[in-house]
């Protein structure tokens, strides 16, 4: 009796405290909005009197050289490391939040344990993110003082809120993590989930702000051609490429976070001592891979949207991006994305060994593989072929009449859509593997599924071939939209249909978690490594298409490093950074493991 | 019942089959050889795919590696083992030797056939903004089809007098002199050439020719003449009209019509 | 530990494959370097191009048109061909030139050798020219560039172009440029020195000395704040003081000075009340 009252009392106190915090926050936000408005008024006034000067025109001597350090490479590596960790620590709370919610709804404690383990992995990574962010800031100020000064003048407001939000995020994360076991059950669980929401809101806003700064450098807004800022901070933030980058990064971060925790689970699986542990980490790896694939499927579309917007913003930038010196980078990208798709699929196929009913579907795997590899070969075929002189003579020119059309966009769009559909199909087989449908219309349902996939693929192929060979270029690019829609419709419809077919289905047998070969774990590693490297590479091109501009058309880079490096050089920098990152990630995993192990040295402590 | 082929042999047969298949389909059936560099990458990924299909389950994998395991571990296979362990390093050595051996083949040079154009170029003594440059006659296509036809015909005449010797009377890059040139003249019928480009790009390439190529298009071995020294500005625009008209391609544009 | 090492090895091999493919699997195209303004490639230049270069320098980097224009601040140079031969025999001529070409070169680097009547500095009775030595200070034309300007002047002035395109300078010139890049000049911290280095006083009156093409800067700090002054140097046409012509001040003024020097100048002007 007494105890329950004190419990209620404590609950009331928490509610009160939360209410106070909310009200305080609301006031704070309101106050700040007012302050922003006031500041904008002032800014508008001062802008009229020319308080913001034009962008400085720099000379080589405006770039300090310090102890022979290559400033560009230093900033590049710090920025990339910071970004990898940031992507990871922003993504993990997003799906931890979702997993926690699923756990609350299904009342399956495994979900809660997994969510806790995910967040545990990210907590050390969080402080590393902050440290690397500090290093990045420091190196920017040291090596590019003029650029930083100019940017800080425009974004001083958002930089302040960035710092503020960072504290909010830290506080939310620490309460969320350390309060996990304390805030359990009933109302407290809801409080915990709410803190998770605050954590995610703060984290995502942080990302949006940082994105604004870098997209400003690509598509400056709110400044005149000389670089004089008009005082409208929102215009500078909401620049042309801000939202395309926001979307692309948000989706990619989730896929990336999934792949990294997948690698964590894979490592724990490989080093697990007991069957129970193996089962647990197998299940965790499966979920991580599931998250990564779910986010991976829409990612190419987000990428196309971003590229299209870059074209729309500046044709010069678009040509540099797709047709000029960076064209070969997309061949490397194709190899990496192919690696991602193949390893994710391989993991699914290996995972079918967990259920006894999978035999019914394994015979299809070779066909899936043939289509995936075939589509991948198209996706990978370069527009400009590397030919020996003999081949050149034999072909009668650098253009290949069969392979040439495979090198342009319609063929590649077709290939990637087919790859996505077949990955979804792989996944459908996996989900069906352990189930037996009991509804009376199973055969009809399956026939509809077959028809659906056939029609979808036929439509994609038709669009690809028609637009690839028979229309002019502007429609070639436009064809990707109906293809994407077809893919999305097929996937959504087949998932819905399957959920009806397998309503009240029976399980073939228990799922044998842990019954998966070690090779599959290496597929998870491959996923994480390829993803990391790919992000580094694409980060390079995103930044590289500015070429010799700090801020495109506003502030020129006149440092000795203003040149655009060859792809090999860029790849080497990315590789060095990726190895550094992997070493740090291993450290993070190790720390997460050490924190749970206890040793009792005999005879060390006083007996008594 | 037919004898079951061992899995390792199956995998090897699939790979060899795909390899031979590529060569047969491209080199023999389609009469367009597959470049060796591309074939190497293709085979790399096909091998990855075959590996995936043959190893996704435990049983299959065991069966696949059983012969290899036996070769290494089985005492009764000592003789074969010793032979293999001698042959494999020798084969690797030989492969390396032949790969590294200098040959009379000229080194592979890769040219970017369509380098990114500069923003502005000096053509006919004027500084021209290539991003904004448009074919002055293009609008006639809709406004005055008869006059447009006339211009195309004039372009055809210019083409026949100047261009067809290399680029061919079918615009397929196969003119009388084409065989003597390396790189060979462009085939305008191909969907990968003028169909991918804007008219301003063609104007830039035609008027400044091989010598006007930017740095990234090295080596500058194109024998395209600098046509601004021989043709008038209008003649070049008319030829461009003809190129698109004859091949049926549309010039690339940035806006939807 | 074995598992750990194999995972590390696997990771390194994967990254190694990606790196190797990027380095050897695809062609390494070296992108064009950032465009440089006025890159001299004398070796392949025709005389027409050389003259055109001279014209660009005359109108641009040389800042000649600031004064040599129809406003009558300095002699118009259209009749050089007719006038120059007479100059060499003029009593007031102090130089050593033997022909038109040498005279023109001399007049660029040593302007006071002959001052056209009525165009000398005030109070010097046409013995001292207000024109700066174009090979030094903020203009810093190289030897080849001076020759290009002379070629342009000869063509424009109606006399025969006798200048030859320097061939040996070509290589050496580029080397010099590179050296300049490697060893940038020391930043100057004395504002007075900056004023004379960038020849502000050629057009502006500062503390009672200087030209009258631009606004008087004596005591400018009382009227304008730092932001305005900084902007006026960075983007001279942003605001034109009433009574003055636009497009008179070189736009690349700020590009020639270090940012620290710009700030010193701004401070100097702002405190000049």
**What's residue C175's pLDDT?**
38
Contact call for C25 and B216, based on CB within 8 A: no
Rounded Cα gap, residues A367 and A138, in angstroms: 53
**What's residue A455's pLDDT?**
92
With CA atoms as reference, report the closest residue to A98 among A200, A177, A23: A200
Q: Is B168 on the interface with A (CB under 8 A)?
A: no
Residue A93 binned pLDDT confidence (cut-offs 50, 70, 90): very high
The pLDDT > 70 percentage for chain A reads 88
- The alpha carbon of residue C39 and the mean position of all alpha carbons in its chain are separated, in whole angstroms, by 13
Domains of chain B: 7-100 (no CATH), 120-247 (1.10.760.10)
Q: What is C191-270's CATH number?
A: 1.10.760.10
pLDDT at A390 over 70: yes
- Return the residue of A nearest to B252 by Cα: A473
Among A320, A352, A398, the residue with its CB nearest the CB of B113 is A398
Higher pLDDT, B2 or C250: C250
Q: Is B52 on the interface with A (CB under 8 A)?
A: yes
Rg (CA), chain B: 28
What does pLDDT average to over chain B?
83
Residue A48 binned pLDDT confidence (cut-offs 50, 70, 90): very low
pLDDT at A49 over 50: no
Q: Is B41 on the interface with A (CB under 8 A)?
A: yes
**Which of A45, A49, A52, A53 is the best mutation test for C, with the most CBs of C within 10 A?**
A53
Phi-psi region of A587 (alpha: psi -120 to 50; beta: other; left: phi over 0): alpha
Give how far B35 is from chain A: nearest CA, Å: 6
Residues of C in Cβ contact (< 8 Å) with B215? 30-33
Helices (H), chain C: 2-20, 47-59, 80-89, 100-109, 143-156, 168-182, 191-197, 226-234, 253-256, 259-270
Rounded Cα gap, residues A506 and A521, in angstroms: 29
Question: What is the full per-residue pLDDT of chain C (273 aa) written as tens digits?
Answer: 788 888 899 999 999 999 999 888 887 777 777 766 545 566 667 777 788 888 888 877 777 777 787 666 778 777 777 777 778 778 788 778 878 788 888 888 888 888 888 787 767 777 778 777 787 655 667 888 888 888 888 887 777 778 877 765 444 343 334 334 445 677 778 888 888 777 787 778 887 777 777 888 888 888 888 888 888 888 888 888 887 877 778 777 777 788 888 888 888 888 887
Average pLDDT in the A441-448 region? 87
Residues of B in Cβ contact (< 8 Å) with A390? 105
pLDDT at A241 over 80: yes
**What's residue A346's pLDDT?**
93
Give how far A179 is from chain C: nearest CA, Å: 32
Rounded Cα gap, residues B40 and B25, in angstroms: 16
**What's residue C182's pLDDT?**
43
B neighbours by CB contacts (3+ pairs under 8 Å): A, C
On whether the CB atoms of residues A259 and A527 are closer than 8 A, the answer is: yes
Contact call for B216 and C32, based on CB within 8 A: yes
**What's residue A248's pLDDT?**
93
Give how far C108 is from chain B: nearest CA, Å: 28
Contact call for C32 and B112, based on CB within 8 A: no
Give how far C246 is from chain A: nearest CA, Å: 17
Rounded Cα gap, residues A366 and A378, in angstroms: 18
Contact call for A376 and B45, based on CB within 8 A: yes
**What's residue B72's pLDDT?**
85
**What's residue A25's pLDDT?**
56
pLDDT tens digits, one per residue of A392-412: 777 766 677 778 778 777 888
- Return the residue of C nearest to B115 by Cα: C31
Rounded Cα gap, residues A424 and A398, in angstroms: 37
On whether the CB atoms of residues B163 and B174 are closer than 8 A, the answer is: no
| Phi, psi at A184, each rounded to 5° | -120, 145
- Parse chain C into domains and list their residue ranges: 42-182, 191-270
Residues of B in Cβ contact (< 8 Å) with C27? 110
Which range scores top for mean pLDDT: B100-114, B148-162, C32-46, C73-87?
A: B148-162
Average pLDDT in the A427-435 region? 87
Average pLDDT in the A443-466 region? 88
Give how far C225 is from chain A: nearest CA, Å: 9
Give how far B190 is from chain C: nearest CA, Å: 23
Give how far B99 is from chain C: nearest CA, Å: 15
The pLDDT > 90 percentage for chain A reads 27
Pair of tokens at residue A56: 């400085």
Higher pLDDT, A390 or B84: B84
Rounded Cα gap, residues A256 and A35, in angstroms: 37
Residue A259 binned pLDDT confidence (cut-offs 50, 70, 90): very high
pLDDT at A161 over 80: yes
On whether the CB atoms of residues B50 and B14 are closer than 8 A, the answer is: yes
Q: Is C227 on the interface with A (CB under 8 A)?
A: yes
Only one residue has tokens 């080589």, namely A60
**What's residue B125's pLDDT?**
72
Among B53, B174, B255, the residue with its CB nearest the CB of A365 is B53
Contact call for A387 and B49, based on CB within 8 A: no
CB count in 10 Å sphere of residue A109: 9
Among C29, C35, C258, the residue with its CB nearest the CB of A566 is C29
Residues of A in Cβ contact (< 8 Å) with C240? none
Give, as one character, the DSSP assignment of residue B24: I
On whether the CB atoms of residues B172 and B188 are closer than 8 A, the answer is: yes
Among B41, B110, B215, the residue with its CB nearest the CB of C32 is B215
Range of lowest pLDDT (A265-269, A467-471, B55-59): A467-471
Residue B1 binned pLDDT confidence (cut-offs 50, 70, 90): very low
Q: Is A50 on the interface with C (CB under 8 A)?
A: yes
With CA atoms as reference, report the closest residue to B135 among B74, B202, B72: B202
Average pLDDT in the A379-395 region? 79
Average pLDDT in the A19-39 region? 55
């Amino acid at each position: 009796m007494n105890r329950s009252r004190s419990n209620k009392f404590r609950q009331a106190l928490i509610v009160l405290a939360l209410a106070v915090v909310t009200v305080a926050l609301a006031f704070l936000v309101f106050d700040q909005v007012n302050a922003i408005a006031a500041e904008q008024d002032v800014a508008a006034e001062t802008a009229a009197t020319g308080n913001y000067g034009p962008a400085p025109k720099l000379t080589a001597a405006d770039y300090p050289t310090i102890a022979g350090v290559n400033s560009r490479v230093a900033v590049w590596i710090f920025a990339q490391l910071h970004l990898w960790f940031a992507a990871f620590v922003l993504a993990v709370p997003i799906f931890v939040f979702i997993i926690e919610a699923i756990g609350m709804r299904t009342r399956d404690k495994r979900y809660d344990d997994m969510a806790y383990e995910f967040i545990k992995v990210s907590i050390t990574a969080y402080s590393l993110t902050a440290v690397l962010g500090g290093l990045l800031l420091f190196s920017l100020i040291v090596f590019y003082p003029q650029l930083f000064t100019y940017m800080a003048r425009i974004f001083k407001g958002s930089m302040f809120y960035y710092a503020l939000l960072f504290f909010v995020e830290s506080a939310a994360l620490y309460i969320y993590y350390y309060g996990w076991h304390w805030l359990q059950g009933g109302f407290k669980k809801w409080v915990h989930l709410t803190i998770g929401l605050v954590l995610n809101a703060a984290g995502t806003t942080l990302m949006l702000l940082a994105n604004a700064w870098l997209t400003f450098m690509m598509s400056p807004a709110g400044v005149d051609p000389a670089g004089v800022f008009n005082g409208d901070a929102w215009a500078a933030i909401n620049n042309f490429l801000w939202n395309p980058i926001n979307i692309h990064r948000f989706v990619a971060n989730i896929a990336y976070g999934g792949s990294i925790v997948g690698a964590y689970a894979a490592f724990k699986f490989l080093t697990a001592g007991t069957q129970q542990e193996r089962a647990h980490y197998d299940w965790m790896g499966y979920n991580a891979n599931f998250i990564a694939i779910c986010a991976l499927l829409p990612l190419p579309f987000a990428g196309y949207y971003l590229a299209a917007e870059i074209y729309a913003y500046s044709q010069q930038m678009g040509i540099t991006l797709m047709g000029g010196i960076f064209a070969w980078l997309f061949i490397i990208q194709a190899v990496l994305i192919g690696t991602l798709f193949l390893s994710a699929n391989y993991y699914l196929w290996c995972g079918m060994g967990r259920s006894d009913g999978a035999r019914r579907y394994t015979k299809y795997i070779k066909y899936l593989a043939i289509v995936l590899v075939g589509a991948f070969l198209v996706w990978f075929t370069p527009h400009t072929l590397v030919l020996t002189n003999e081949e050149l003579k034999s072909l009668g020119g650098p253009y290949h009449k069969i392979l040439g059309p495979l090198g342009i966009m319609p063929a590649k769009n077709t290939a990637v859509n087919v790859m996505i559909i077949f990955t979804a199909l792989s996944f459908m087989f996996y989900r069906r593997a352990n189930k037996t449908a009991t509804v009376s219309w199973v055969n009809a349902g399956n026939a509809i599924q077959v028809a659906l996939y056939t029609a979808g693929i036929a439509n994609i192929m038709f669009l690809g071939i028609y637009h690839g060979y028979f229309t002019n270029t502007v429609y070639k690019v436009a064809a990707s939209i109906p293809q994407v829609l077809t893919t999305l419709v097929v996937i959504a419809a087949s998932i819905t249909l399957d959920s009806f077919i397998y309503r009240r289905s029976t399980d073939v047998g228990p799922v044998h978690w842990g019954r998966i070969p070690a090779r599959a774990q290496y597929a998870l590693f491959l996923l994480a490594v390829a993803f990391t490297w790919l992000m580094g590479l694409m980060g390079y091109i995103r930044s590289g298409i500015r070429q010799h501009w700090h801020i495109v058309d506003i502030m020129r880079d006149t440092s000795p490093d203003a040149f655009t490096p060859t792809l090999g050089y860029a790849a080497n920098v990315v590789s060095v950074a990726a190895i550094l990152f992997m070493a740090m990630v291993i450290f993070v995993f190790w720390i997460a493991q050490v924190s749970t192990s206890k040793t009792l040295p005999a005879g060390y402590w006083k007996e008594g | 019942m037919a004898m079951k082929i061992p899995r390792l042999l199956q995998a090897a047969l699939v790979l060899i089959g795909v390899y031979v298949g590529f060569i047969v389909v491209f080199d023999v059936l389609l009469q367009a050889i597959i470049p060796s560099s591309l074939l190497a990458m293709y085979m790399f990924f096909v091998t990855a795919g075959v590996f995936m299909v043959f190893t996704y389950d435990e049983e299959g994998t065991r069966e696949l590696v059983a012969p290899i395991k036996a070769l290494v571990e089985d005492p009764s296979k000592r003789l074969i083992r010793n032979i293999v362990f001698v042959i494999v390093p020798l084969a690797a050595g030989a492969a390396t030797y032949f790969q590294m051996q200098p040959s009379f083949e000229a080194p592979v040079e890769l040219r970017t056939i369509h380098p990114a154009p500069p923003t502005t170029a000096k053509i006919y003594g004027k500084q021209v903004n290539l991003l904004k440059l448009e074919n002055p006659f293009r609008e006639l296509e809709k406004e005055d089809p008869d006059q447009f036809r006339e211009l195309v015909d004039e372009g055809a005449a210019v083409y026949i007098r100047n261009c067809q010797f290399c680029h061919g009377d079918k615009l397929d890059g196969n003119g009388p002199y084409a065989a003597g040139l390396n790189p060979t003249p462009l085939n305008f019928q191909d969907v990968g050439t003028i169909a991918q480009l804007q008219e301003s790009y063609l104007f830039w390439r035609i008027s400044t020719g091989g010598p006007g190529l930017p740095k990234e298009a090295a080596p500058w071995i194109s024998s395209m003449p600098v046509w601004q020294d021989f043709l008038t500005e209008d003649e070049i625009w008319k030829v461009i009209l003809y190129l698109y008209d004859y091949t049926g391609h549309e010039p690339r544009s940035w806006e939807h019509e | 530990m074995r598992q750990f090492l194999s995972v590390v090895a696997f990771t390194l091999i994967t990254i190694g494959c990606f790196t190797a493919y990027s380095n050897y699997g695809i062609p390494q195209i070296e992108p064009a370097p950032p465009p440089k303004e006025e890159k001299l490639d004398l070796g392949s230049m025709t005389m027409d191009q050389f003259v055109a270069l001279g014209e660009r320098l005359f109108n641009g980097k040389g800042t000649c048109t600031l004064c040599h224009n129809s406003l009558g601040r300095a002699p118009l140079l259209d009749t050089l061909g007719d006038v120059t031969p007479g100059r060499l025999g003029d009593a007031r001529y102090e130089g050593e030139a033997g022909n038109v070409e040498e005279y023109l070169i001399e007049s660029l680097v040593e302007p006071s050798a002959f001052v056209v009547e009525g165009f000398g500095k005030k109070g010097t009775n046409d013995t001292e020219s207000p024109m700066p030595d174009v090979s030094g200070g903020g203009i810093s034309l190289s030897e080849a560039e001076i020759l290009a300007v002379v070629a342009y002047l000869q063509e424009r002035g109606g006399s025969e172009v006798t200048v030859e395109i320097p061939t040996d300078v070509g290589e050496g010139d580029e080397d010099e440029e590179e050296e300049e890049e490697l060893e940038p000049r020391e930043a100057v911290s004395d504002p007075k020195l900056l004023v004379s280095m960038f020849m502000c006083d050629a057009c502006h009156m500062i503390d009672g000395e200087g030209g009258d093409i631009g606004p008087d800067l004596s005591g400018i700090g009382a009227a304008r704040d730092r932001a305005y002054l900084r902007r006026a140097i960075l983007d001279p046409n942003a605001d034109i003081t009433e009574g003055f012509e636009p497009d008179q001040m070189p736009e690349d003024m700020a590009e020639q000075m270090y940012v620290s020097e710009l700030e010193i100048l701004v401070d100097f002007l702002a405190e000049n009340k």
